[in-house]
Each structure stands twice: as structure tokens, then as C-alpha cells.
Amino acid sequence: MGSGIKTYAVVTGASSGIGREFAGQLVLTGRPLIISARRGDRLHELKGEIQSKVPSAEVAVIEADLGMKDGIDELLSGINSVLDNGERSDPYTPARLGVFINCAGFGLCGSFDRSDVERETAMIDVNVTAVHVLTKQVLKIMERQNSGYILNVASSAGLFPAGPFMATYYASKAYVASLTQAIAEELREKGSGVHISCLCPGPVDTEFNDVANVKFALRGMTAKDCAKAALKGLFGGKVVIVPTLRMKAAVFFVRLLPRGLMTRIVAAQQKKKF
Ligand SMILES: NC(=O)c1ccc[n+]([C@@H]2O[C@H](COP(=O)([O-])OP(=O)(O)OC[C@H]3O[C@@H](n4cnc5c(N)ncnc54)[C@H](OP(=O)(O)O)[C@@H]3O)[C@@H](O)[C@H]2O)c1
């Protein structure tokens, strides 16, 4: 950052919750930001808030629906045009992509036989397909630079064998956790300068519950603490980041208990959310 190269940080899902916190904390590290979500009014409000605290902060807003192929393409072409100078006030300063956080996502509750297939496939589009495509495209940019950090926001749900009554959400986050760990190993094997992590928090107090139409059975951590722990883990080179001691202990027991028993325990916890 003091090298004369602008090192951008991109955050999806920045209009709310954990993503909003990521943006606020990353800007304090001096990185110019690109923030994305569907709700442009929220993104512009966040931009104003950031610039009122840090007047020199550069914040580009890209409105995109990541549940659609066009939305993913718009985000990627928006990032490329910022990096290629088109959108920047100082086009002659070289730029690279320093951090990319796949944070956009949502959850759904209910028994699998009754839940709405349209909402579920929309969730798979955002939680799985967009994360997959964006990770691949961003990795290509970062591998050319031989530097950069990718953070995929999974969930502790992704580290459990299964999540009855929130089945598709758990499966979507297991995909993200598995994919990220596999890519991390490929990068480690070839000595790449690019690092990738997945964030696996337990409950976090955000708008997530309203969207999923549930109440947490456990008390949630704040989005601020979650983002702080995540950035520490990411820049510290951790592959799987589990923010709280309580969740770390839960994940430890997941490895010890039989999968069937663990799945019954998760089912009992999930039912408390309705
Ligand atoms: N809160 C928790 O307990 C918890 C725990 C573990 C993991 N997570 C994960 O953390 C991530 C952030 O969630 P949160 O808790 O911060 O919830 P949140 O406050 O509801 O934020 C979700 C973000 O995702 C964006 N988003 C949703 N659908 C989108 C779409 N189709 N296109 C683009 N952006 C979309 C939303 O923006 P727009 O609506 O403006 O598009 C919003 O910025 C999610 O991946 C979630 O699964 C949350």
C-alpha cells in the first residue's frame, strides 16, 4: 500500500451485516474499496458514512444481483474497469486486486419436503454458483499478480455433517468450505502467493435471521467481532476461520461424534429456531 500500487479490496454483500463491517474495517487498512450488493441505496449510504470518517477513502459501488449470471458478469466487468483505470480519479497509478470477500448469501429454514424450491435454487445461485464463479475468476487475476487474499464466507453450518430443517443452506455452506479448502491445498502445493480462507462463524447478529425467518437458538456474536476475527485469520494465513471459542469447541466435537448422532443434535437445535 505504501508501494505506489493501489491494492483494492472487494466486498460482496456489503449492504448489510458482516459484509458492511468488512468494508468499514478494510478501509481503515488504507485499501481502496469496491462494495457490491443489490441495494444501491444502502451501498451509497455506506460509502457516505465511510467517507465522512475517512475523507480520503476511495469507494466504488457496484450494484449487482449475484443470483443472476448477468449480475456476476457486471461485478467482474466493474472490477476490471476499476483495475484497468476507467473508473478511477488517478488512472496512472497501477492497481491490483488485494482482497476479495465473497460475503453475499442468505439462509432458509423449514423441512425439505415443504420448503419452496424457487427460493432454494435462488439460494444455491448466490451461496454456491456465484461464490464458485467469482472465486475462479478472481483467482485468475490474483495468480497473474502472484498475490492476493480471497475470503469465502461459509458458516459453521458448512463444517457439520448435515443440517436438518435448514438442509439446503447447510449443504450450500459445506460446498463453500470444501471448495475453499481444496483450492487452498492446490495453492499451497504450488507455492502460490495467493491465499484463500473460508470463514465459518456460528450465529452472528445481522439481518440474516429476518431473511431466513428464524430466531437463533444460541446468542449471536456481533458482526464487528466476526469481521475482525475473520480479517485477522485471513491475513494470518489460516485456511478455516472459526471465530469464537464456543464454535471452535463445537467443531472439535463434530469430528469426534458419529455423523448420525451429530445430525440428530443439529436437528434438535434447528427446531428451536422456529
Ligand atoms: N448471520 C449469521 O448468523 C451467519 C452465520 C454464518 C454465516 N453467515 C453468512 O454470512 C454472510 C453474510 O450474511 P449476514 O449475516 O451479514 O446477513 P445479512 O445482514 O442479511 O447480509 C446479507 C448480504 O448478502 C447480500 N445478498 C443477498 N442476496 C444477494 C444477491 N442475490 N445478490 C447480491 N447480494 C446479495 C445482501 O445484499 P442485498 O440484499 O442488498 O443484495 C446483504 O448485503 C452470508 O453468506 C451468510 O450465509 C451468516
Question: pLDDT tens-digit profile of 110-153?
Answer: 999 999 999 999 999 999 999 999 999 999 999 999 999 999 99
Cβ distance 261 to 255 under 8 Å? no
Q: Which three cell numbers stand for residue 110?
A: 423449514
Mean pLDDT of 71-87: 88
With 0-12 / 13-18 / 19 or more C-beta atoms within 10 angstroms meaning exposed / middle / buried, residue 95 is middle
CA of 65 to the centre of ligand 1 (A): 12
54 is a domain residue? yes
Domain that holds residue 123: 6-271
Q: Which residues line ligand 1 (CB under 6 A)?
A: 13, 15-19, 37-39, 42, 65-67, 103-107, 126, 153, 155, 201, 203-204, 206-208, 211, 220
266 is a domain residue? yes
Give the number of domains in the chain: 1
Residue nearest to atom 23 of ligand 1 (CA): 13
At 256 the pLDDT is: 93
CA of 22 to the centre of ligand 1 (A): 12
CA of 106 to the centre of ligand 1 (A): 5
Residue 11 reports pLDDT greater than 90:
yes
Residue 255: CATH number of its domain? 3.40.50.720
Distance CA 142, CA 52 (A): 31
Mutate to test the pocket of ligand 1, among 10, 11, 15, 125 (most ligand atoms within 8 A of CB): 15
Distance CA 89, CA 75 (A): 19
Q: What share of the chain is helix, strand, coil (3-state, %, to 5)?
A: 50, 15, 35
32 is a domain residue? yes
1 is a domain residue? no
204 is a domain residue? yes
131 is a domain residue? yes
255 is a domain residue? yes
At 261 the pLDDT is: 93
Query: What is the value of pTM for the model shown?
Result: 0.95
20 is a domain residue? yes
Percent share of the chain, pLDDT over 70: 95
